[in-house]
Amino acid sequence: MTEEITLCLASADDATAIATLNLLFNEVDESADAIADRMSDPACVETVILAKTADKAIGFALVRVVPSVLYSTPHAELTELYVMDEYRQRGIASDLIAFAEQVAVQKGAGSILVQTGDDNLPALALYKKRGYEEYDLTLRKKLF
């Protein structure tokens, strides 16, 4: 029998699980307290979505929705997407993307952007399967 996977909006109470997943995914050892503080900040524009089994968080997606001065609809971006290795190939990432898109629509966004490495073929295939198209070019400059 396959264990049930549920998706939910995360709260600051989930910060320990989010910190654990962030360490696995981004190799960033950020404290749960720091994550909880940022999630609780009224200026926070990211929403965390968790994928959970009965006893643990197994993946997350983060969606950022921010208002625009020049456009009537907010800008939305899927900023993070991760599912633990042992839970991949079950449709969880696709479900997290769909949930993130729903959050963006509920907050008034008319489209959503995602950025991934041009060599991340599994992610590119997943996004294209979900209807994402290549759009623009991203440049980066480190400030510190």
- Residue 18: Cβ within 10 Å count: 22
Question: What number does CATH give the domain 6-129?
Answer: 3.40.630.30
Q: How much is the pTM?
A: 0.93
Q: Report residue 138's pLDDT band, with 50, 70 and 90 as the boundaries.
A: confident
Average pLDDT over residues 15-31: 96
**Type of residue found at 113:** L
Q: What does the buried/exposed string (b/e) look like for 56-94 if buried means 16 or more CB atoms within 10 Å of the residue's CB? A: ebbbbbbbbbeeeeeeeebbbbbbbbbbbeeeeebebbe
Cα 110 from Cα 27, distance rounded (Å): 32
pLDDT at 86: 95
State pLDDT tens for residues 103-137. Answer: 999 999 999 999 999 899 999 999 999 999 999 88
pLDDT of 1 higher than 70: no
